[in-house]
Chains A and B, each alone.
Chain A
Amino acid sequence: MIVNLLFSLVGALVQLAFVLLFAPLVQGFIKKIKARLQGRRGPVLLQQYYDIGKYLNKTEILSEHSSWITRVTPYLVFGCMAAAAMMLPLVGLSPLRSADDIILLIYIFGLARVFTVLGGLDAGSAFGGMGSSREMMVSMLVEPGLLLVLFASALRAGSTGLSGIVTHLSNGGISTITPSHLMCAFALFVLIIAETGRLPVDNPDTHLELTMIHEGMLLEYSGRLLGLMLWATSIKQLLFISLFVNLFLPWGIATTADISSLLVGGLVYILKIGLVAVGLGVVEMLTPKMRLFRLPQFMLTPFLVAFLGIISDYVVR
């Protein structure tokens, strides 16, 4: 019992370290792909690391109107992301197997979101409020669809535990690919675009009034606090991409803890992440930013597809 607990704790810490180090690279990679597709050279692959490192060492300038919320939020958001990073199955099954519950996962992201939004409101500026208000609108559009997609997988696997779902899917072979699987995969891909604040929902590279959602909330952060928020954002992005690949392309994931399968799992994982990152870059290149009030219709699509995905599992049989 104790040995098991210790073992999973060590596994979780290793996984956490891996995510912390790997996440900025994925961010840089997507940026690079996008730049290349647009015929630019783009920033170097490691730019995100330089940025985070620079911010972590700078002086913080805080607004006189802000309260402890601003000072606590970056650490809390970072903590939530770290907790999520320990829960998810990435290269292998989740190290914290007894708690890898999908609902818990989504609500931990929710906790991080609540604090980010409060942080946007804390300084009392119009820009922060604008970002916060829009973020809540997007979250309201995303959340039902996101939960439905995850519930569809959970229902098929008969468990709301992520490891259980992933094992079920990767053992299923070709029979895993059902209409429901494909529909939910599509829905989740669209939802990831919204959830990670990418085009056409949000533009991560600017903070203009017209586009800003996520960046708007970060305007009053600086120095170490900003560095942490940036880092947390890239971790969130990596976690969502991982969720996608492990739920919908689960093949190759290490289901046992021996060296060889972990190695294969690791390679396959990085390959899959790369593929999705390219996909996100292509989508960013092809689509312009959408008007804010076009989003409800846009986000209705993944929701309905996910809904039909659940139902289709029972109709198509």
Chain B
Amino acid sequence: MIPALELVYASFSLYIIAAILALVLIRLPHQVILLGYGLATLASILGLAAAILFLLEPQPQRVVFFTIIDFTAARFEILLDPLAAFFLLIISLGGLLVSVYAIGYSQQYIEQGKNVALLVAGYNLFFPAMLAVVMANNGMMFLIAWELMSLLSYFLVSFEHEEKEVRKAGIIYIVTTHFGTAFITGAFLILFLAAGQSFSFDAFRGGVRTNLAESARNWVFLFALVGFGTKAGLMPMHFWLPRAHPVAPSPISALMSGVMIKTAIYGLVRVSFDFLSGQGIALTNGGLPETLRFIPPVWWGTVLIVIGLVSSVLGILYAMVEIDLKKLLAFSSIENMGIISVGLGAALLFHSLQIPHGEELATLSLFASFFHLLNHTVFKGILFMGAGAVIHATHTRNLELMGGLIKRMKWTALFFLVGSLAISGLPPFNGFVSEWLTYQSLLGLVAYSPEIWQKTLGTLALSGLALTGALAATTFIKIFGTGFLGQPRSVPASESHEVGRSMRFGMGLGAFLAITLGLGANGVLALLKPVLEQWTGVGSTHPLSSNLYWSLQSAIPNNQTSNEGVVPFLLLLSLLLAIVSWLVIRWLLGRSRRTVDETWACGIELKPTMGYNSISFVSPLRRVFQLVLQPFREIKVTYIVEPYFVEKIEYRSGINSLLQSDVVKLIRKGFSVVTTQIKTIQNGSIRLYLSYILITLVILLIFAR
């Protein structure tokens, strides 16, 4: 057995031990927090080590975990292949960032008299569930783990169940997630039949290749898309996400947004690349002959790109106008999942097109997609943790009640700024690299695809991505500018304080990673290489495999310049030049004389209400996008004596969220129509029910005759 798998086992068991310990020590909340999260930190370090070890020297490993019945359908197996290892990396990384942070964050629940042990136990069980999802080699085990993950996250979401909003969000989440699970189950059942009635993933692979018609493959893809798309929060199946993520405790929000929804991407990749198109190196008994490779239809990739684009543009638009800090971040997760699926869609499309350089371009797109996945875990982690710190200090999620926090929460502000810059895709942070890679792969789509509509799609995607980038920058400037800068707009904001050491450590580690991954993108490539090779069969001879980073101009034809090496240094250039210019100017002109005075407000005293708040900041953009956002504004004036003496003025403004309200309303209406019809057969009379039984019995007797 290789060390990687032992480490995985150790990590698994540590999580479970921590959960059990938490439940045993239920009366000692302080110890539970320290022990539970401490062990979780240790476990995630082990998982991280396992993933890195495995990815640097991959050997597919399979282990029969345990067997319930000796029956092929229910043999639970763990499989560690490069794809699974990459997601092990993501989950463990998220765990590492959040666990340390959670030590400090959870203290407040002790003061509130909540049962912290349950939170710690649920938290620690959440990881093995997610790990089981990505390492299952059996459909049944996958579904059980998937369900476990969903249920655990439901319990964690409803941790603060005293509030009505939380309960409601929990219900919506659990219903939606089961809607998704139903579709995944559907997809797996089709595969089960094709595989000769086996739930083993190996049988899936073999069965699909030998006896699954193209139409059936299409159904499997669609089912998987709906099922996993729901979990990933892709539009229009996203509506649960901005409700459920914000109400959970902040470490949980960070995990759900940063880690859990990625398991949906894992499922989508596993089904569409591995099972359906057989692009993977066969890990099964006996390799896969070239002739059995299935070329996915063009519309698969196209649909993914379109859904991804819609999700990213609309997701960030809704994020932009949101004033609830955590809801905003949740909407931004929809955007990022959109960008990731654009990359996935492009990769599928390149597989379908069968064009020269297609394999390389598919590799590039997948790299962009997976890199963004990793990046999103890092910066969404920072941002949710930062939001948690801010909420911890100000006791509100409402951006309008913040302001001026940079003075009182220096470190949190700095880390939040780094996260904001990274998620806006600005150099030298990690978001820039993945955004850049996505641009390059889409440029490849425009340059190489044979048909005009594909080129137009590529161009649309490029402009959509550019728009998304600009809107993301606006959104995160809005948070930082109105939340952390200016004057405090409420009493709690003016009395806020910096958070404790463990919380700062989590955010700081994230900020450090954001810049490391940006400058050390070559290292990420080295880690991802086996994952990419698994899906494209591009070997080590390919230019992408050696020094992909920054020589990526080869993504477009007739490449004339070669970019090697120095770029990471150049990414830092602007920061370096800033320091240099400061030094030079100081050397030439001496120390600057400086006086501090009030902000000029045309001669009157500056009030906090006079500064721009988050609604006014985006108000011009709200107007530009009124077609989508449908902003409304109501002013209601009540008079004592009309029209002179005003009693009060009520002002209400907001947006009509198109997809969130109308579509859901329509579905709800449809449901209620159907259920009222069905209700008539259930009128409460026992005699009627007895006659139903009688009729059923008669019918059964006739058929069973």
Q: Please report A residues at the B interface, Cβ cutoff 8 Å.
A: 5, 56-57, 59-69, 72, 75-76, 78-80, 82-84, 86-87, 96-101, 103-104, 107-108, 110-114, 117-118, 121-126, 128-130, 132-134, 136-137, 139-141, 143-144, 146-148, 151, 154-155, 157-161, 163-164, 167-168, 219-220, 223-224, 228, 292-293, 296, 303, 307, 310-311, 314-315
Contacts and interface: CB of A to CB of B under 8 A. Distances in A.
Nearest to B482: A121
A76 B620 contact: no
Contact of A121 (B421, B473, B481, B562): B481
18 contacts: A63-B600, A64-B598, A67-B407, A98-B567, A99-B550, A101-B553, A104-B436, A107-B426, A110-B426, A124-B404, A129-B481, A129-B611, A134-B620, A139-B470, A158-B447, A158-B559, A292-B620, A293-B624
Contacts of B539: none
Given A107-B432, A124-B404, A159-B558, A79 B580 contact: yes
A104 B567 CA distance: 10
Contact of A79 (B471, B567, B579): B579
Contacts of A69: 406, 485
Nearest to B562: A98
Interface string B39-60: 0000000000000000000000
B586 to A, nearest CB: 9
B693 interface: no
A103 B446 CA distance: 16
A307 B487 contact: no
Interface in B528-586: 550, 553, 556-567, 570-571, 573-582, 585
Given A111-B426, A117-B477, 10 more contacts: A62-B595, A69-B485, A75-B581, A79-B580, A98-B567, A104-B436, A124-B487, A124-B599, A154-B556, A158-B559
A137 B624 contact: yes
| Chain A binding surface, main DSSP class | helix
B443 A67 contact: no
Given A108-B427, A114-B421, A220-B600, A99 B581 contact: no
Interface in B574-629: 574-582, 585, 589, 592-601, 606, 608, 610-612, 616-621, 623-624
Given A63-B598, A82-B581, A311 B459 contact: yes
A118 B414 CA distance: 13
Nearest to A223: B592
Contact of A98 (B560, B565, B606, B620): B565
A114 B600 contact: no
A125 B477 contact: no
A311 B452 contact: yes
B486 interface: yes
Contact of A314 (B455, B477, B618): B455
A101 B566 CA distance: 13
Given A76-B575, A98-B563, A98-B564, A60 B606 contact: no
A164 B553 contact: yes
Interface size class of B (residues with CB under 8 A): 35 or more
Interface of B: 403-404, 406-407, 421, 424-427, 432, 436, 439-440, 443, 446-447, 452, 455-456, 459, 462-463, 466-467, 469-471, 473-474, 477, 480-482, 485-487, 550, 553, 556-567, 570-571, 573-582, 585, 589, 592-601, 606, 608, 610-612, 616-621, 623-624
A143 B424 CA distance: 13
Nearest to B458: A310
A292 B487 CA distance: 27
B563 A161 contact: yes
Nearest to B588: A56
A107 B425 contact: yes
A57 B591 CA distance: 10
Nearest to B577: A79
Contacts of A63: 596-600
A67 B406 contact: yes
B574 A122 contact: no
Contacts, number: 291
Contacts of B566: 5, 96, 98-99
Contacts of A146: 466
Contact of A126 (B421, B565, B601): B601
A107 B427 contact: yes
A16 B291 CA distance: 58
B617 A129 contact: yes
Contacts of B592: 59-60, 223-224
A94 to B, nearest CB: 9
B582 A75 contact: yes
B426 A133 contact: no
B403 to A, nearest CB: 7
A128 B619 CA distance: 15
Contacts of A78: 577-578, 581
Contacts of B618: 133, 136
A139 B579 contact: no
Contacts of A57: 589
A264 to B, nearest CB: 22
B353 to A, nearest CB: 15
A189 B541 CA distance: 43
Given A60-B592, A139-B470, A220-B599, A114 B575 contact: no
A82 B577 contact: yes
A124 B439 contact: no
Contacts of B439: 103, 147, 151
Contacts of B585: 56, 224, 228
